[in-house]
Chains A and B, each alone.
Chain A
Amino acid sequence: MDFTAIKDVLVNEAQAQNIEQYEIYCRRNKDVTVETLKDEISSFASSDISGVCFRCIENKQMGYASGELFDETALRSLVFRAKENARNIECDEEPFIFKGSESYEKSKLTPFISTDAKTLREAALDIQKNMYEQNDKVTDGTQSYAMTYETEIYICNSNGLELTNHVGINGAYASAVVCNGDESAYGLKFKQGVKKEDFSDIAEIAVTEAIEKLGADEVKTGKYNVIFDGKQMQSILSAFSSAFSSKNAQMGLSLLKNKENTKIASDCVSIIDDPFYPECPMQTHFDAEGVATYKKDIIRNGELKTLLYNLSSAKKVGKQTTANANKGSYAGTVSISPYCMTIEPGKYSFEQLMELAGNGILITEVKGLHAGANSVTGDFSIESAGFLIENGKKAKPIKSFTVAGNFYSLLLNIAALSDKIELGIPGGFTVFGSPAVLLRDMSIAGK
């Protein structure tokens, strides 16, 4: 993808059509994934996808058009289409083409190097072999994956701003299936990087998780002390993260409207958004509007310090952007998302948290959050699995129950947090992390 050539065509066409305010956003994504089945590589997939978005201000509105064709005719049509689209918009937010920040923080990460195909193959086969060797209950359907993904972004605009970013992630993933008679269970483990020394651990964690689920019982309906492990709490945070979007709050799609500088969570809860979180390789020093990104407190000791803003939503309420403008892909309109959004760890070890719970339920799996969690109302009722907690210790596995509550109440009711964050898998530049959290009297529906 020749960014300069694309820019030249689009700039010339914008000038020809008397468009004064515009932005060009280009993105190239490359990935390779290797997948195993039984003892061999079953699938090898790679992609190299480029796209460009042209957006411009016309009639005080921001029009967008995007495409994956880079011949001159196709590129020129983007300008016309974006201008036409703007003419039918009625948005009351002021649109911006950004002039540029004074300075941009540099990532401390070393430049990304993608893992080569041969190493990916060897990794997937090695993890697969390790899983089968872990336990004779490991069975067909067990799969290993090794992948590399990189993205390159280029933004330039009519104010002379020009920015680029190139980041990526390598990773290995184990999906263990175990069988005991008629009963099957699975375990999953993803780890960043493709390092030989990690393969046996990845395999062992996935297989152990699966084996531990065998023999799971049902649980009685009732109120229980509940611990969500870090992975599940991170998923819940992800499902409700749109509540922290200032635009959603302004539109009444979040109950956090007018809640800045008020208490919305338990004193022990602090939530941070950090585009340079050290353990996350998907870092960016500018947002989708070209504003310099920075680390910020969203909640500090239970108080909502700020919602997340882009240029337009900030202007609407006389604030500064928090540089959280985001585009899900090159083709998307600008929305608002966090970068690395983490709940700050607490002071208890996981074992101490279990002791604090006394008797209750440890939830190690939640499913169907896309349907069972409503970010507008905060309500959730989600399929779960996990373990009973008896006298502060992990006891027998349980399955086929739901946990129900409300996210806004949940934040206020977090009783304690463990001292270690579990970080999720990045989706673009957004990733979530959380320690395990203890909640009292949660509604559980089972047998």
Chain B
Amino acid sequence: MITRRWYRRSGKEASCREVGQVLQSYLDGEVETEFTAKIEAHLEKCRDCGLERDTYQQIKSSLARQAPQVDSEAIDRLREFGEQLTSE
């Protein structure tokens, strides 16, 4: 989890630069939840940063769809291997 000093400034809105610095970590779920509201408030109001978010979110979503189908037979063989280890 990342933290940055600007999060802690009470009442002050995040700037485009500040949001840009943490945008990808925010999309990765690596920003502490107490600070996400500040980021989301900025993204709601700022069209440019909102587009930036959409851009990286599209890339992330596409990448997530590339996860290869897990070979269930391989997983079964590995589970059997584990059972053999614990039964010897």
A and B are interacting partners: no
Report which A residues bind B (CB closer than 8 A). none
